[in-house]
Structure 1
Amino acid sequence: MRGFWLTFWTVIDWPFKVVSYILITIYRYTLSAFTGRTCRHLPTCSEFTRDAIWRFGFWPGGWMGAARLFRCRPGGTDGYDPVPEELPLTGRWYLPWRYGRWR
Structure 2
Amino acid sequence: MVKGLALAAIRKYQRGGGSLKYFNLECNFEPSCSEYTYQAIDKYGLVKGVKLGWNRITRCNDPDCVKKHQDPLL
Provide the residue aligned with 1:23 in structure 2: 9
Alignment of 1:1-103 (within 5 A): 15-32=1-18, 34-35=21-22, 38-74=26-62, 79-84=69-74
CA drift at 1:16: 1.8
CA drift at 1:31: 4.4
Q: Judge conservation of contact 2:28–2:62 (CA < 8 Å) in 1.
A: no
Unaligned runs of 5+ in 1: 1-14, 85-103
Q: Distance in 2 between matches of 1:47 and 1:30?
A: 14
- Structure 1 residue ranges (4+ consecutive) displaced by more than 4 angstroms after TM superposition: none
Identical pairs, percent: 28
Q: Distance in 2 between matches of 1:40 and 1:22?
A: 23
Query: With CA pairs under 8 Å and 6+ residues apart, which has the higher RCO, 1 or 2?
Result: 2
The count of corresponding residues between Structure 1 and Structure 2 is 68
Q: Distance in 2 between matches of 1:66 and 1:25?
A: 17
Q: Distance in 1 between matches of 2:40 and 2:16?
A: 21
CA drift at 1:37: 6.3
